[in-house]
Amino acid sequence: MKDNRLLSRHFKPISLVAGACAAALALTVTGATSSVAAAKPLVIGVSLSLTGDFADPGNAVKKGYQLWVTHVNAKGGILGRKVTLKIVDDLSSPTQVVTNYTNLITRDKVDLVVGPFSSLLTVPASQVANRYKYAFIESAGGGPKVFAQNLTNLFFVQPGPIVKQGDVFADYILSLPAAQRPKTAAYPSLDDPFAQPVADTVRVRFEKAGITTVYNEIYPAETPDLTPIMAAVAATKPDVIVSGTQSLDAYQQVKALIQLKYNPKFLYMSNGANSPSEFPSKVGAANVNGIFSSGDWFTTSTAPGSQTFVKEYLAKFGGTAALIDNSSAEAYAAGQLIELIAQRTGKIDNATIIKSLHSGTWPTLLGTLSWDKYGVPQSQYLLVQWQNGALKSVFPTAVAQAKPILAKPVWP
Amino acid sequence: MHVLIQGLIMGVLTGGVYALMASGQTLIFGVMKVVNLAQGAFVIASAYLTFSLFTQFGIDPFVSILITTPLMFGIGMLAHWVFLRPLRKEDAVELSILVTFALALLVEGLLSVTYRTTYRSINNTYSNKAFLLGDGFSIPYVRLYGFFISIALLLVLYFVLQKTKFGRAIRATVQNPQSATLLGVDSTRVKAYGFGLGIATSAASGSIFGLLYPFNSGSHYDLISRLLSVVILGGLGSIGGAVFAGILIGVVSSVAAVVWSPTWSEMTFFIVLLLVLLFRPQGMFGRLERGAA
């Protein structure tokens, strides 16, 4: 005890000094550790189709992700962490995409992953993410097979599943007074899970409403020439043509209708006609007016972050607003969600993302989004129409930029 | 009945263009016994060239045929010299299938890098125009011009093969390469010219294809399967057979699409192809090899 007291007395000042030093050191170390933690970037991994069949839309998605990263880092990152993207090329291959996401998660140990381009790649990629309990926010895989997996880690960042695209056109037509509604309808559709079901959903609703079906045929994707098919459509003289299309066949249908000199009162195309950058150059800019399609975003949208996105996009990539691909906006919206989750919860990890997005509503540049338990978006697409060479939202009225043109102008 | 006649008109006009594409394919087979799987890729390459000449220099797609034809002839000669000439004679026929497929992939890759993979379309003042004939039958100008240009070029090809010394050399090589060589025909040179000529036919058909349909670098896959079908139906090596089968494929597909269903459109043609091959394995205008059953 004595020795102890002596020791204690003897060492008291030293202990104080040592304690102070230790405390100072501890503070320094703690401070350094916390600043290291703050500086540790938030790494988001993504596999994109930078080459191969989906190279163009894949690169558009890349621009959207890159733009959001630049945007969020300029604001100080996510919860003080700088955001870094790790992008790998999947060659548009559903096999390579599996390898890529497995490597991103297990080898590179990225903090989060976001989705690739197309449902074809999203299905296997989302399974990998699910296996490792990663959230899978994806902006370009909305086909039926994606949701049929019943994955609870997946969130499709568009207003609705692709097959519900045409609902807004049916809503619009059925909102018209009976005298203005079409009496007959034709449904020429591509044999494709993203195209034919859209037209078919509209057909069921139209038939219930008393609109007679005069043509309902599916053509294979390999059909080289749609002119004979559209000749058969024209021969039935439908008031409205509802085309379940992708891109190439949409262009071919329009060209064929022009050559056949058949002008329906209403022409709706599920896809292809909703691309401001591609459609006019493929069918001729003078021929687009009056054609309806569905969209989730347009350049003059006032949805949260939309105009900032347009401004930053043009500053970073140049070009004109009309040439911005929707895929870029959709990818940017995926980033907006990550940012919002961090703001609302003060955390950013996979479990938090999955839990957060399963409840509440989330404002993005695509509008306010929400999802069911399997990641199916619960909002509605916009009805867009070409007017004076520009693609404008025309329905629902609350978010419309312009009134719909009732009867399609004749081909010039 | 109206829609049937309309389908018939479209089928004949489109078939003429297929005939031109397939004539190059069958010529190459006739001269070299090469199944050229790159023919479709060269058609698409020509469509891209036409697109560039139109968008960059404002050259009309039909006028551009005058530029693209000699260019494609040269490219064909070069492709022969680089890829086909070095093949061992004993394996040349079999290996040429692999080599021309590789060539198709090479062309596709170069086009993808140069033009990206978005669809391109040539839209000029008349590309979507049509006039009405008789009881409201639509005749698109591009299809009509394309049909007549194809027929004119096929007649030129026929004249070259039948009436010129070069044509006689080609025909001699087709009929009996060894005898042709003994008679002083430089068969290596004739084969190079023959391959060049076959590829040159893709120039005009590419221009017309680009005016008719949007295309991208991968469009050649569908095209080559149809061209091979046309060539087999017509008879390998027979230009007349290619013309007949080209028009037949256009008509059968078109009429089936308007009368029955688009789903049957493609299948109907292949049913015709199978039936013909059952009764005439050499194709409609082909000849059986001496000694074959």
Using the predicted structure, report yes or no on whether residue A39 has a pLDDT greater than 80.
Answer: no
Q: Given this model, what pLDDT does residue A19 score?
A: 46
Q: Given this model, what pLDDT does residue A184 score?
A: 98
**Could you check whether the bond before residue A396 is cis, i.e. omega within 30 degrees of 0?**
yes
Neighbours of A159 (CB within 10 A): 24
Distance, CA of A363 to CA of A370 (rounded, Å) = 9
What would the pLDDT profile of A157-192 be if each residue is shown by its tens digit?
999 998 899 999 999 999 999 999 999 999 999 988
**A321 DSSP 8-state letter:** G
**Phi then psi dihedrals of residue A392, to 5 deg:** -125, 145
Q: Which residues contact A170 (CB under 8 A, 6 or more apart)?
A: A201, A202, A205, A206
Q: Which residues contact B185 (CB under 8 A, 6 or more apart)?
A: B169, B172, B173
Radius of gyration in angstroms for the set of CA atoms belonging to chain A, rounded to a whole number = 27
Distance of residue A359 Cα from the nearest chain B Cα, in angstroms: 38
Q: Is A251–B214 a contact, with Cβ atoms under 8 angstroms apart?
A: yes
Instruction: Name every chain A residue with its beta carbon within 8 A of the beta carbon of B257.
Output: 219, 223, 228-229, 232
Q: Sign (positive/negative) of CA torsion B104, B105, B108, B110?
A: negative
Q: Is B132 on the interface with A (CB under 8 A)?
A: yes
Q: Given this model, what pLDDT does residue B289 score?
A: 54
Q: Given this model, what pLDDT does residue B105 score?
A: 95
Distance of residue B206 Cα from the nearest chain A Cα, in angstroms: 14
Instruction: Name every chain B residue with its beta carbon within 8 A of the beta carbon of A258.
Output: 128, 130
**Phi then psi dihedrals of residue A396, to 5 deg:** -65, 150
What would the pLDDT profile of A78-129 be if each residue is shown by its tens digit?
999 999 999 999 988 999 999 999 999 999 999 999 999 988 899 999 999 9
Q: Is B130 on the interface with A (CB under 8 A)?
A: yes
What would the pLDDT profile of A275-327 be if each residue is shown by its tens digit?
887 899 899 999 999 999 999 998 888 899 999 999 999 999 998 887 888 89
Mean pLDDT of chain A: 89
Residue of B nearest to A287 (CA): B128
Q: Given this model, what pLDDT does residue B288 score?
A: 59
**A239 DSSP 8-state letter:** S
| End-to-end Cα, chain B, rounded Å | 44
Nearest to A259 among B138, B222, B223 (CB): B138
pLDDT tens by residue, chain B, 293 residues: 788 898 899 889 988 888 888 888 888 887 778 889 999 999 999 999 999 999 999 999 999 999 999 999 999 999 999 998 888 777 877 888 999 999 999 999 999 889 988 889 998 889 888 998 887 888 999 999 999 998 998 888 888 888 888 888 888 887 787 888 888 888 888 888 889 999 999 999 999 999 999 999 999 998 998 898 899 898 887 888 888 999 998 898 888 888 888 888 878 878 888 888 888 888 888 765 544 43
Instruction: Name every chain B residue with its beta carbon within 8 A of the beta carbon of A228.
Output: 6-7, 10-11, 253-255, 257-258, 265
- Would you say B40 and B227 are in contact if contact means Cβ atoms under 8 Å apart? yes
Reported ipTM: the value is 0.85
DSSP string, B48-72: HHHHHHHHHH---TTTTHHHHHHHH
Distance of residue B152 Cα from the nearest chain A Cα, in angstroms: 23
Residues of chain A above pLDDT 90, percent: 71
Q: Is B262–A218 a contact, with Cβ atoms under 8 angstroms apart?
A: yes
**pLDDT band for position A54 (cuts 50, 70, 90):** confident
Phi-psi domain of A150 (left: phi exceeds 0; alpha: psi -120 through 50; beta: other)? left
What would the pLDDT profile of A125-156 be if each residue is shown by its tens digit?
999 999 999 999 999 998 888 999 999 999 99
Distance, CA of B269 to CA of B208 (rounded, Å) = 22
**Residue appearing with tokens 């599916």:** A218
**pLDDT band for position A382 (cuts 50, 70, 90):** very high
Q: Is A255 on the interface with B (CB under 8 A)?
A: yes
Residue of B nearest to A250 (CA): B214
**A43 CB-side CA count, 13 A:** 11
Instruction: Give the residue among B237, B185, B234 at the shortest CA–CA distance from B25.
Output: B237
Q: What is the mean pLDDT of residues A30-49?
A: 71
Q: A173 to each of A72, A95, A240, A411, B166, how far by Cα in Å?
A: 41, 42, 10, 22, 66
Q: B57 to each of A213, B64, B207, how far by Cα in Å?
A: 47, 10, 15
Using the predicted structure, report yes or no on whether residue A1 has a pLDDT greater than 50.
Answer: no
**pLDDT band for position A24 (cuts 50, 70, 90):** very low
Chain A to chain B, count of Cβ pairs less than 8 Å apart? 110
- Would you say B12 and B251 are in contact if contact means Cβ atoms under 8 Å apart? yes
Please state the pTM of the whole predicted model.
0.81
Q: Is B7–A55 a contact, with Cβ atoms under 8 angstroms apart?
A: no
What structural domains does chain A harbor?
Answer: 42-160+301-369 (3.40.50.2300), 164-296+382-399 (3.40.50.2300)
- Residues of B (197-226) whose Cβ lies below 8 Å from A: 212-214, 218, 222-223, 226
Using the predicted structure, report yes or no on whether residue A13 has a pLDDT greater than 50.
Answer: no
- Residues of A (225-244) whose Cβ lies below 8 Å from B: 225, 227-229, 231-232, 235
Distance, CA of A31 to CA of A181 (rounded, Å) = 70
- Residues of A (362-401) whose Cβ lies below 8 Å from B: none
